[in-house]
């Protein structure tokens, strides 16, 4: 799958999730198992990139942390890195997703992705 097609696929999927009121979108590279998940907030019109801590190596955490906020549980334990993006900027969210897959996870430029959406 080529970059432009993937980015369009991400954008269309996020737009569809917002339109349908879905709450979670997960993009995954089936070959590696690497994924980028989104919490979809239809009412506040935001999509939230959410990378769980268990998905990250120390290096990936160091690369992502300048670009995302820490999400902690009620005890202050780090759970994930997150980035809030306004719904009107799904193109940016799509480009950010592809950046994570290709630059952070270092997947090949022609990697495949699948999507799951659910409430």
DSSP secondary structure letters along 29-70: -TTT--EEEEEEETTTTEEEEEEEGGG--HHHHHHHGGGSEE
In the chain, what are the domain boundaries? Answer: 3-113
43's tokens? 């009412």
Mean pLDDT of 92-115: 96
Taking 80 as the threshold, does the pLDDT of residue 1 lie above it? no
Taking 90 as the threshold, does the pLDDT of residue 98 lie above it? yes
The torsion defined by the Cα of 113, 107, 36 and 97, in degrees rounded to 10, comes to -90
Cα–Cα separations (whole angstroms), residue 26 to 33, 60, 87: 11, 18, 16
**pLDDT tens digits along 31-74:** 999 999 999 998 889 999 999 999 999 999 999 999 999 999 99
**Which of 15, 24, 20 is closest to 116 using CA atoms?**
24
């Amino acid at each position: 799958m080529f970059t432009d097609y993937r980015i369009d696929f991400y954008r269309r999927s996020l737009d569809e999730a917002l339109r349908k009121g879905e709450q979670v979108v997960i993009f995954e590279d089936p070959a590696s198992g690497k994924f980028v998940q989104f919490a979809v907030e239809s009412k506040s019109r935001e999509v939230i990139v959410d990378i769980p801590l268990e998905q990250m190596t120390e290096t990936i955490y160091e690369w992502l942390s300048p670009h995302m906020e820490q999400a902690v549980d009620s005890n202050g334990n780090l759970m994930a890195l997150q980035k809030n993006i306004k719904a009107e900027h799904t193109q940016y969210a799509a480009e950010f997703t592809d950046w994570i897959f290709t630059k952070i996870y270092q997947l090949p430029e022609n990697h495949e992705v699948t999507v799951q959406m659910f409430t």
